[in-house]
Structure 1
Amino acid sequence: MVKCPTDGMTIKNRDSNNQRIAALEEKVDEQAKTIALLQQQLQSLSVILASAAQSIAKPVSVEEESSAVEITNGSCTDRPVDKDEPVVEEPTPAATKKETPLPVQYNYKNLLQEHVVKQGWTLPTYQTEKCSGGFASVITVNEQSYTSKTMKSKVLAEKSAACVFLQALNVIDENGVPVSDGDPKRNAGISKYSWCKNQLQEYFAKCGLKYPSYTITSVGGKGFTAEVSHEKFPEKVLGPLACSKRIAEQMAAHKAISVWRILEDSSDS
C-alpha cells in the first residue's frame, strides 16, 4: 500500500493547530484570572464606598452632640460639656484682624516683566526670605527696591512685591487692577485719570485762556514725571511717578485740579 504524501502534511498541520489552540486556551485562562481579580477589587471598593456613604449619612447622636473639643497647647481632647459651666466664646479666625492680601486675579510678575521689557529696563530680581508669619520678598529694579507684604508662600510673596512695585509706578491702581482695565469704556493704554487733562483744558477754554503746559522728565529709567503750569496760577504742580509720559501728564493734571481748586472755580461760575 502506497502512503499518500499529503497525509504527513495533514498530520503536521493538525499538530500546529493543536499547539495554537493550546496557546490560545492558556491566554484565555490568564485573562479569566485577571477578570476575576478585577471583580474582587471592585467588590472591595464597593464595600468601602458603601461604608463611607453610611458614615456620612449617619445622624449625630445626642451623646456626640453633648461632647466638646478642648484645645490645650495645640492638642485636642474630648470632654463632656458641663451645663452649669459658663460658655466662653472663642474668637473665630475670621474675627481676628488680618491684613488683607493683595488681589491675585493678575499675575503681577508677568505684568511687571512686560512693563520692564517695554521700558528697556533691566529685569527685576527677587530676594525672598522666611519671616514671622510667612515669607517676604524684596524686589529690585534699576537700583530701586520695594518690599512685599507677608505672604504664606514664596511665590505669593514675589507676586506681592511685583504688585507693590507696579502700584508705585501707577501701572495698577490701589485695587491691583491695571489702569487700562476695569472699565470696558476705557481704551487700552489710557489711565483712569484721563478725564483730568480734559477737565483742565475745558476750564481754561471757558476762561478764554490758553491751555496749560506740561514738562516731562524721565526719572533715571524708572518712569516719568510731569510738571503742569499756567500763567494764571503761580504754583507749578509736579505729578507722581508714572509708567508713561501720557499717564504722567494725566496724573499731574489730576493733582493740579486739587491744588488749583479747578472744580470749585467751575462750580462758582
Structure 2
Amino acid sequence: MAATATATTTAMEGIEATAAATTTEAAAGQSAAIPEKYMHKNRLQEFAVRTQKKLPIYNVEREGEYHHPKFRCTVEVGGQKFSSTGSFSRKKEAEQDAARVAYEILAPIEEGDVNKEVFGLIDQDVVFCKSILYEFAVKTKTARPSYSEDCLKEPFTMFVGSVVFDGNTYTGESASNKKDAQQNAARAVIKSILATGGPDHVAPASQDESSSLGVQEHSIVPAVGTSANPSAKAVSGSKKRKGRVGGADVNGTMVAKEH
C-alpha cells in the first residue's frame, strides 16, 4: 500500500505542476498582454522544463534574395526536430512557428503518458477507485455513482458489482466481497473515461484490458493517501489540448500543416 501511495503522490505532483505552470494569474496576465502568435516559444520552454528535457535549440536558415530574405526554422526538443510550416519574413516568426509545431505534437503525447501511469496505479490496487470516481463526479457536476451487487454462489460465493454513472451502467470483475466488487465497478468506469474521453464520450464497458488511450478531455488522478474517504481524494479535470499529429519528412523532421 505504501508503494501505491508513493506512486500516487508522484502522479499528483506531475499534474499539479502542469496546472500551476499553465493557470497561474501571472501567466494569464502575460497571455493577455502578448499576442498569441508570440507565446509558442514560451509554452515550449515551459513544456521542456516540466518534462525535464533540455531547453529547445533553434536553428534558423536564410533563403531567398539578399534584399528580400525569407527564414525557416528547425527546433530540437528532447532529441526530436520540428520544422516551421513555411518561410517567414522575420526570424522570430519562423522560430515561433517551429515552436508551435513542436508543442502541438509533443503536448498530447505527454498527456497520454500521464494517463498510462494512472492505469497502472488503479490496476495495482482498487482501493482508490470509488473515491476517485466520486470526486470526479463532483468536479464535473455529474450525478453521484449508484452501486449494486449480484451474488454468484456457484461454485463458490462471489460478488459482481455494477455502477450507474452519467446514465450508463458499468460492470466490474467479480470479487470475494461486496466492497471490492464495488471498487472493481468504479475502476471499469475510470478506465472507460481514460480511454474514450470525458463523461460525454464514455461508453459502458465491462472491466477489461482492451481499451487504448486517446487524447483525453478529463484526466483522472488519484490523490495522496490511502483512506477510502471520498473527501481525502482528488480528481483533476482538465480541458483537452487540441493537438495535431504531425508527420515526418524525409530527414525525420516532424512537421505539421500550416494554420
Coarse TM-score class (shorter-chain normalised)? 0.3 to 0.5
TM-score (norm 1): 0.33
Of the two structures, which has the highest relative contact order with CA contacts closer than 8 Å and spacing of 6 or more?
2
